[in-house]
Structure 1
Amino acid sequence: MDALLMCGGRGTRLGGDTEKPLVRVADRPMVDRVIAALAASRIDRVRAVVSPHATATREHLAERAVGTDSRLPLRVVDAPGDGYVADLRYALGDAESAADPDVDPTISPPVLTVAADLPLLDGEVVDRVIDAAAAVESASLTVCVPAARKRELGVSADGAFEADGRSVVPAGINAVGGVDADENDDGRGDSEHDTGRDDTDADPDESDDALRVTTDRRIAVNVNYPSDVRIAEALLRSDHSQTPPP
């Protein structure tokens, strides 16, 4: 499966002058952490979707694309920055939204879409999402986290909605079988690492999409505010401290 790394947002809620994908979590840009997770997974290729709102991110990724630090082929796509769905269509080479001959049309659904603000992501949990998408008979798979889980971790829970009787938040990693998404839904949410299990799998009402709800903190922690950065760094330190020395 190929992946679209969505990294064209401004990140205004984080404050400061650093574009969101380049915000450092434990001394490493978040986008680099996500690329490393994809490289450690079964993803075959990555298309990094940037926009005019993230010019420094584009520069950073263009340098990575020609480097040899990853086994994963990486290509940068300059989307127009007209919103998540519009940029997704552009990256997929949709005829109506992407008449640009420089857009490689070879990538096609299903693809994994991943936000650049998931600094705890790793290859194992990416593969879990790929397996979950393969197991459902739906056009797409939307991954969500219970709002209560995000509050337990202390991270932001923006964009919550009701599903299967509880409040959930889009996690920012999904499998997309098409591009008929709601223009107002960016698929973003902005568990425990030691369990790593999905606890619910249900079909949303009146939708062709399957919904998977997970409490795995590797997916639950999106960075939207400075406080989220601090929590992500604390969790990374905790994981490192519990890893036995070689």
Structure 2
Amino acid sequence: MCGGEGSRLGSAGGTEKPLVPVDGVPTVERVRRALAASSVERIHAVVSPHTPETRAWAESADCEVIEGTGEGYVADLNRALDEVGRPALTCAADLPLLSPEAVDWALDRAEGDSLAVCVPVRLKRELGASADASFERDGRQLAPSGLNVVGDGEDRVVVSWDARLAVNVNRPEDLELAQRLVD
């Protein structure tokens, strides 16, 4: 999912959010590499009218391009699911520390269900990462990681303490944090 405007990130030098580099590599390319090294079979890049340069990147990076509406994450996700079907792993392009192991961990736990991979807000705070969206589950504050599986079964939430899933580059401070934590 790489069609967002990145308004919270600020200008980032005029660079589209998915193309903002972490240690010299665009966040979306870092995500693509993690997906390519996982058990995922095909990689699609869901772009929007807000991300024409990201579309060009995706076309040159061996990603199948899906044109989103640009009306938001849910609208773009629905457009993508209409094209690729279910089950499908979805991943935000703002997870520069994503690992193939985390991707396979999520896929292994889905078992045909829809799965939202969340991290404790406490972990995000300990790391210094922003936590713009959160909810309570079983007495814990959780934040969506941006990694999900959309299946045909039950909707479930799994919690990961993997710090690499807790850093979404949404704000300048998140970008600085990702720069410090990158391998």
TM-score, normalised with respect to structure 2: 0.94
Q: Which residue among 127, 136, 143 is the counterpart of 2:117?
A: 143
Query: Cα offset for 1:151?
Result: 0.3
State the Cα deviation string for residues 132-157 of structure 1 (Å, max 9, x = none): 112xxx73111111111000000101
The structure that has the greater radius of gyration is: 1
1:229 counterpart = 2:170:
no
- Residue number in structure 1 paired with 2:109: 132
Partners of 2:137 and 2:105 in 1: how far apart? 21
Larger helix percent? 2
| Corresponding residue SS for 1:92 | helix
For residue 117 of structure 1, what is the aligned residue in structure 2?
94
SS of residue paired to 2:144:
strand
**1:78-227 map, 5 Å:** 78-93=67-82, 105=83, 107-134=84-111, 139-177=113-151, 208-227=154-173
1:57 aligns with 2:54: yes
Determine helix, strand or coil for the equivalent of 1:212: strand
1:233 Cα deviation (Å)?
1.2
For the 8 Å contact 2:35–2:100, the answer to whether it is kept is yes
Q: Distance in 2 between matches of 1:232 and 1:223?
A: 7
| Structure 1 residue 229: Cα displacement | 1.0
* 8 Å Cα contact 2:81-2:88 kept in structure 1: no
Tell me if 1:19 matches 2:16: yes
Q: Please report the TM-score for the alignment, with normalisation by the length of structure 1.
A: 0.71
- Look up the SS of the partner of 2:76 in the other structure: helix
1:184 corresponds in structure 2 to none
Match of 2:34 in 1: 37
In structure 1, distance between residues paired with 2:74 and 2:179: 30
After TM superposition, give the deviation of residue 159 of structure 1 in Å.
0.4
Taking CA–CA contacts closer than 8 Å with sequence separation of 6 or more, which of the two structures ends up with the larger relative contact order? 2
Residue equivalent to 1:242: none
Q: Which amino acid is the alignment partner of residue 81 of structure 1? A: G
1:79 and 1:230 mapped to 2: Cα distance?
29
**SS of aligned partner of 2:22:** coil
Runs of 5+ consecutive residues of structure 2 not aligned to the other structure = none
- Aligned partner of 1:194 in structure 2 is none
- RMSD (Å) for aligned C-alpha atoms: 1.5
* Structure 1 moving runs of 4+ over 3 Å: none
Q: Does the CA contact (< 8 Å) of 2:118 and 2:157 recur in 1?
A: yes
Instruction: Report the residue type matching 1:228 in the other structure.
Output: D
User: What amino acid is aligned across from residue 141 of structure 1 in structure 2?
Assistant: L
CA-CA distance at 1:49 after TM superposition: 0.3
Could you tell me which amino acid in structure 2 is paired with residue 47 of structure 1?
Answer: H
